[in-house]
Amino acid sequence: MTHIAIIGECMIELNGAPFGNMLQSYGGDTLNAAIYLNRSLNKQGVAFSDVRTSYVTALGTDSISQEMTRRWQNEGISTDLVLSDPKRSPGLYLIQLDDEGERTFLYWRNDSAARYIVQHPEFTDVMTQLDNADMVFFSGISLAILPDADRVELLAKIDKLRNNGVKTAFDSNYRPKLWQSIATTQEAYLLAYQATDIALVTFDDEQLIWQDKTPQDTIARLHKLGVQIVVVKMGSEGCLISENPNQDPVSIPTTPVTNVVDTTSAGDSFNGGFLARYLTGGSVAQACQHGNALAGSVIQHHGAIIPQSVTDTLSTLIEKSTHANY
């Protein structure tokens, strides 16, 4: 059985107009990726028993935390590595959308259980269990929410896992409001990339953080830091991949989407689709095409996690991309 552990935070989601109709749900970048990963596996005809997806986080003991856990289990996600913090609860975020489907976030997460996961008395035991995982995936938000010392400790543990043979994947997913400064972000991301085998990054983020002029600049910089596989996501332009710094990057186009409703989970669903195909033996190019197809469908619906009934209807597009040859 292939085992991937995904580290991060899930929050209560409010989606809608302030003082108007609000839809309550839940979401978080890495949790969204975990759900779309499992749904993609189902579309590939891979039983959840063949790939174990574990979510690593901390929640409270309140009723909302319990309901979140139950819903993740219904998605086939293992919650054995979810820690309980009786003193804290999940964070909360509000999504506001403009007419083009672009989103603005407001957060309330300073005292969330996930923020203090590294200080949890059982956290070291959880990370020890990950020695037996095949892959660990984390993001820039997984790092940004942590106190400085905790962030360094988590990255040291991830680096140790990599040295022990566990594959590591990282999405830089940059949210400026979560960081003290660009310098702080750069310091953390340098450590993250040095502990990363597969980088799934967005070019707009890399430009903001590092002032890269082209996606090729991003690829060259990440390879120099020791990243083996670099995937640069470029929205409607698809993505650019590099598995060898001595060869030209390969462009993987995507089908243009004219009916963009909500881009909240575009990158997350790409990550989920990519990881599902990669973990089941697909090439990096096939994994990217799968991610492109899934993200293109997800952004035509509202919410970070679209209904299961909707993803069940996406099989034709995703199946075609899954079996494409590159």
Positions marked active-site: 268
Residue 10 in tokens:
């899930």
Q: Which residue do the tokens 């999504």 mark?
A: 95
C-alpha distances out from residue 87 to 84, 111, 113, 143, 148, Å:
9, 10, 8, 21, 21
Residue 294, amino acid = L
Q: How far apart are the C-alpha atoms of 325 and 150, rounded to whole Å?
A: 43
Task: Provide the angle, in degrees to the nearest 10, between the axes of the packed helices 148-163 and 182-194.
Answer: 20
Task: Name which of 17, 49, 11, 48 is nearest 31 in CA terms.
Answer: 11
Residue in this structure with the two tokens 């243009």, named with its chain if needed: 256
Helix (H), strand (E) counts: the chain: 12, 13
Q: Are β-strands 22-27 and 92-97 bridged in parallel, bridged antiparallel, or unpaired? A: unpaired
- What is the identity of the amino acid at 10? C
Q: Does residue 144 sit in helix, strand or coil?
A: helix
At 229, which amino acid appears? I
For 12, the 3-state DSSP assignment is strand
CA distances from 276 to 13, 53, 156, 227, 273 (A): 25, 10, 26, 20, 5
**How far is it, in rounded angstroms, from Cα 260 to Cα 316?**
20
